[in-house]
């Protein structure tokens, strides 16, 4: 298809006096391929848009359902430490099924529905657990960054009976976070651990995402090309506003980590003649100075240590603060070694 498209593009440029209808009649296959490609692209765009709209609708509906459940509560119980345990979770499940059975019985007999005389919600840290309609209960996770609230995520669990295993009915966790894998691995064997893990998953994701947002907001004029995965567990960016090119590469061991575990900060010297073209600032390096005969990058270990122990904005500031001295120490050493080698 690519070859056909190139041929068509060249033909149209060369035959400027040929009308579109004439070209369509002469090359029907090419226009058919173009049409198919356009349809596939529009289908992909539409599918992505519908997916976003669907996720938004689910979020808005669950958000309203949780708001209604909390507004109708008669008591809120705050749990700390060992108060949040498997026994309490089993009690919540039992209450959910008892309420569903009472409501079904009231509906069968035509009696008024008074079974919601007592509504209890449970707050565990940043989690709020509510009993919902239809033998379901949900967990609303509040996420924060630097002490400020960011957004809510929801996870609704259900089971056909108290004795059967629970499943995830629906959720608003981003699709690239492995909630379904966690459901398979944890929910049937350790429901409390699953609930806590999902909370750690979304909070860590928000933390990494907001760190990247903040570092771009504060230092965007110094950062060149950058890349991050959807879940922000792979982050890379480069700096060109100095007398060397610096590339920072961060990898997180898992999706509940907020500090990277695999860190590489590499620096390459910039040829003096390229500094004018790049518009970077110089550090007292003469224009006629020899380029450094060094193709391999230099690891900035002090910066790697900073990224391994600090948040991204803090580590970035630490790296930049000590970068001029690191450049002088490493690159001047290389220049001296190169000069000695050439003179011998």
d(CA 165, CA 156): 14
183 shares a domain with 74: yes
d(CA 37, CA 31): 10
Q: What is the reported pLDDT for 73?
A: 82
Final residue of a structural domain among 206, 229, 258: 206
Average pLDDT over residues 294-320: 92
pLDDT tens column, 226-270? 999 999 999 999 997 667 889 999 999 999 999 999 999 999 876
In terms of average pLDDT, the best of 8-12, 28-32, 73-77, 175-179 is 175-179
261 shares a domain with 169: no
The tokens for 141 are: 């996770």
Average pLDDT over residues 30-48: 54
pLDDT tens column, 288-301? 444 444 457 889 99
Average pLDDT over residues 171-188: 94
**Strand locations in 27-159 (E):** 75-79, 120-124, 127-132, 136-145, 148-158
More confident residue, 275 or 344: 275
Split at pLDDT 50, 70, 90, the class of 4 is very low
More confident residue, 144 or 47: 144
Q: Give Cβ neighbours of residue 31 (< 8 Å, ≥ 6 apart).
A: 8, 23, 24
More confident residue, 106 or 90: 90
d(CA 114, CA 37): 59
Q: What is the overall mean pLDDT for the chain?
A: 79
Q: What is the reported pLDDT for 25?
A: 61
Give bridge partners of residue 262 from the DSSP assignment. Answer: 251
As for how many domains the chain has, the answer is 2
Q: Which of 244, 258, 341 is nearest to 299 (CA)?
A: 244
225 shares a domain with 82: no
Final residue of a structural domain among 182, 206, 230: 206
More confident residue, 51 or 254: 254
311 shares a domain with 199: no
pLDDT of 155 strictly over 80: yes
Longest dimension (CA), the chain: 104
Say how many C-beta atoms besides its own lie within 10 A of residue 176's C-beta: 12
pLDDT tens column, 198-217? 999 999 999 999 999 999 99
pLDDT of 84 strictly over 80: yes
Split at pLDDT 50, 70, 90, the class of 282 is very low
230 shares a domain with 193: no
3-state SS track over 225-280: EEEECCCCCEEEEEECCCCEEEEEEEECCCCCCCCCCEEEEEEEECCHHHHHHHCC
29 inside domain: no
pLDDT of 287 strictly over 60: no
277 inside domain: no
pLDDT of 48 strictly over 80: no
pLDDT of 152 strictly over 70: yes
Q: What is the reported pLDDT for 269?
A: 78
109 inside domain: no
139 inside domain: yes
Split at pLDDT 50, 70, 90, the class of 99 is confident
The reported pTM is 0.74
Instruction: Report the percent of the chain where pLDDT is more than 70.
Output: 69
Determine the structural domain holding residue 240 and report its residue range.
221-272+295-329
Please state the φ and ψ torsions of residue 236, each to the nearest 5 degrees.
-140, 140
Concatenating the DSSP letter of every residue in 87-117 gives: HHHHHHHHHHHHHHHHHHHHHHHT----TTS
Place of tokens 């567990």: 233
266 shares a domain with 141: no
pLDDT of 31 strictly over 50: no
299 inside domain: yes
238 shares a domain with 156: no
Q: Which of 260, 262, 265 is nearest to 208 (CA)?
A: 260
Final residue of a structural domain among 158, 176, 206: 206
Split at pLDDT 50, 70, 90, the class of 284 is very low
pLDDT of 114 strictly over 70: no
343 inside domain: no
């Amino acid at each position: 298809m690519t070859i056909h498209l190139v041929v068509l593009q060249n033909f149209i440029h060369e035959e400027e006096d040929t009308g579109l209808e004439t070209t369509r009649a002469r090359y029907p296959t090419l226009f058919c391929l173009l049409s198919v490609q356009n349809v596939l692209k529009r289908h992909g765009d539409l599918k992505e848009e519908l997916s976003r709209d669907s996720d938004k609708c689910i979020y808005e509906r669950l958000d309203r359902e949780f708001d209604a459940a909390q507004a109708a509560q008669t008591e809120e119980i705050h749990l700390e430490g060992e108060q949040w345990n498997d026994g309490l979770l089993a009690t919540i499940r039992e209450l959910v099924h008892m309420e569903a059975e009472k409501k079904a019985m009231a509906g069968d007999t035509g009696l008024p529905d008074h079974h919601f005389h007592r509504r209890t919600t449970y707050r565990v840290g940043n989690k709020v657990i509510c009993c919902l309609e239809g033998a379901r209960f949900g967990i609303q996770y509040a996420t924060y960054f630097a002490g400020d609230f960011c957004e809510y995520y929801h996870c609704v669990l259900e089971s056909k009976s108290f004795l059967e295993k629970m499943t995830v009915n629906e959720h608003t966790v981003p699709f690239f976070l492995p909630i379904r894998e966690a459901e398979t691995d944890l929910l049937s064997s350790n429901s409390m651990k699953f609930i806590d893990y999902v909370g750690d998953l979304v909070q860590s994701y928000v933390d990494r995402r907001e760190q990247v947002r903040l570092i771009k907001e504060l230092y965007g004029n110094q950062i060149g090309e950058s890349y991050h995965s959807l879940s922000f567990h792979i982050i890379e960016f480069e700096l060109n506003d100095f007398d060397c090119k610096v590339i920072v590469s961060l990898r997180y061991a898992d999706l509940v980590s907020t500090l990277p575990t695999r860190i590489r900060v590499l620096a390459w010297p910039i040829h003096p003649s390229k500094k004018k073209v790049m518009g970077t600032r110089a550090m007292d390096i003469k224009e006629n100075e020899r380029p450094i005969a060094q193709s391999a990058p230099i690891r900035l270990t002090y910066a790697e240590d900073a990224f391994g122990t600090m948040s991204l904005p803090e580590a970035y500031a630490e790296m930049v603060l000590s970068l001029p001295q690191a450049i002088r120490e490493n690159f001047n050493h290389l220049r001296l070694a190169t000069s000695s080698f050439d003179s011998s």
